């Protein structure tokens, strides 16, 4: 079941797809795209799947004219972050995939460190963890309440799936194409963040946490409602364990 690692090769095929989902991220999207593009290896693509109604689309389309690796996908009937990721995966061609949030809470400069364990054959999926030894949380990055919710959710998922994961809701992760080819993603909401790692573990893929740096949001607003979405995620993790989703 486990992959053999995904060393990036210069063989003419697309090696890496970076996915950014956006819901009204006009304040940060240009800087985010430029910083991602600056660390992309050759033969990469950057897909932005947008479901918002601000100037994000306009900004990304202008950048796509300037930077050929960038592709804008308008997700007309956007049903949530998970739905946008499904659309991106279907449109992608990389052997390795990375998803990073648009709000610059996670640093694009850390993408090379995130994909290293996959390239060296040590993991099939890697989570950028805010809550492990070596993680740096800059002021304003995660409130106490959300840190507690993340800790609880990660602990619950770790116990249910028998594998310690320190940040199952990480907004920055990497995986091989094989993982999403063999893992049926069903959640169209923010539960996607937990669904991908726990279903990968359920399917026998090797998962690793890499400590990352997190910052405060660069403008815009979080789409998450802590209590409503927190309960929904805990309920969905339970359903994943029971294989009901
Ligand atoms: N297309 C799409 N993107 C979304 C949606 N909700 C959130 N996002 C994007 O997913 C990323 C994470 O969302 P965010 O609100 O920052 O979540 P938080 O970091 O958990 O507070 C950001 O890039 C958002 O713009 C959605 O409904 N549709
Ligand atoms: Mg965020």
Determine the distance from the C-alpha atom of residue 131 to the mean position of all C-alpha atoms in its chain, rounded to a whole number: 16
Sign of CA dihedral 177, 178, 184, 190: negative
* Helical pair 226-241 and 192-202, crossing angle rounded to 10 deg: 20
Nearest CA to ligand 1 atom 27: 80
- Residue 55 is part of a domain; what is its CATH number? 3.90.550.10
Cα gap 16→176, rounded to integer Å: 9
Lowest mean pLDDT, pick from 62-76, 93-107, 215-229: 215-229
Q: Answer yes or no: is 4 within a domain.
A: no
- Please state the rounded mean pLDDT for residues 118-140: 97
For 6-15, how does the pLDDT look when each residue is reduced to its tens digit (9 = 90+)?
A: 567 777 789 9
pLDDT confidence band for 230 (50 / 70 / 90): very high
Q: Measured from the CB, is residue 167 less than 6 Å from ligand 1?
A: no
> In this model, does residue 238 exceed pLDDT 60?
yes
For 162-206, how does the pLDDT look when each residue is reduced to its tens digit (9 = 90+)?
A: 999 999 999 999 999 999 999 999 999 999 999 999 999 999 999
The pTM of this model reads 0.95
Which pLDDT belongs to residue 39? 97
Ligand 1 atom at minimum distance from 80 CA: 27
Q: Answer yes or no: is 2 within a domain.
A: no
Ligand nearest to the CA of 75: 1
Domains identified in the chain, total number: 1
Q: Measured from the CB, is residue 216 less than 6 Å from ligand 1?
A: no
Full residue range of the structural domain in which residue 175 is found: 16-241
3-class SS of residue 121? coil
> In this model, does residue 2 exceed pLDDT 60?
no
Average pLDDT, the chain: 95
Q: Answer yes or no: is 221 within a domain.
A: yes
Q: Answer yes or no: is 8 within a domain.
A: no
Which pLDDT belongs to residue 1? 43
Ligand 1 atom at minimum distance from 84 CA: 1
pLDDT confidence band for 3 (50 / 70 / 90): very low
Q: Hey, which of 20, 23, 53, 127 would you mutate to test ligand 1's pocket, going by the most ligand atoms within 8 Å of its Cβ?
A: 23
Which pLDDT belongs to residue 6? 55
Q: Measured from the CB, is residue 22 less than 6 Å from ligand 1?
A: yes
Cα torsion through 142, 147, 153, 157, rounded to 10: 90
- Please state the rounded mean pLDDT for residues 85-96: 98
Q: Answer yes or no: is 201 within a domain.
A: yes
pLDDT confidence band for 148 (50 / 70 / 90): very high
DSSP structural state of residue 109? G
Lowest mean pLDDT, pick from 177-181, 206-210, 222-226: 222-226
- Please state the rounded mean pLDDT for residues 85-94: 98
pLDDT confidence band for 218 (50 / 70 / 90): very high
Q: Answer yes or no: is 149 within a domain.
A: yes
Cβ atoms 69, 37 nearer than 8 A: yes
Which pLDDT belongs to residue 93? 97
Which pLDDT belongs to residue 121? 97
Q: Answer yes or no: is 5 within a domain.
A: no
Q: Answer yes or no: is 6 within a domain.
A: no
């Amino acid at each position: 079941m486990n992959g053999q690692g995904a060393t990036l090769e210069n063989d003419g095929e697309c090696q890496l797809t970076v996915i950014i989902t956006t819901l009204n991220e006009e304040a940060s999207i240009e800087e985010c795209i430029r910083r991602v593009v600056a660390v992309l290896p050759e033969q990469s693509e950057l897909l932005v799947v947008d479901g918002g109604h601000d100037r994000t689309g306009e900004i990304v389309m202008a950048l796509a004219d300037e930077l050929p690796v960038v592709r804008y996908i308008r997700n007309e009937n956007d049903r949530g972050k998970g739905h946008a990721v499904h659309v991106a995966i279907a449109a992608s061609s990389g052997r390795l995939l990375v998803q990073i949030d648009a709000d610059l809470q996670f640093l694009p400069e850390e993408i090379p460190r995130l994909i290293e364990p996959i390239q060296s054959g040590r993991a099939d999926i890697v989570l950028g963890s805010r809550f492990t030894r070596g993680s740096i949380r800059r002021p304003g990055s995660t409130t106490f309440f959300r840190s507690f919710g993340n800790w609880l959710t990660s602990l619950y998922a770790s116990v249910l799936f028998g594998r310690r994961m320190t940040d199952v809701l990480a907004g920055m992760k990497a995986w091989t194409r094989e993982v999403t080819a063999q893992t049926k993603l069903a959640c169209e909401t923010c539960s996607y963040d937990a669904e991908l790692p726990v279903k990968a573990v359920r399917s026998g893929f090797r998962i690793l946490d890499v400590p990352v740096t997190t910052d405060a949001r660069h403008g815009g607003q979080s789409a998450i409602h802590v209590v409503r979405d927190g309960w929904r995620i805990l309920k969905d993790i339970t359903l994943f364990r029971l294989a009901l989703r």
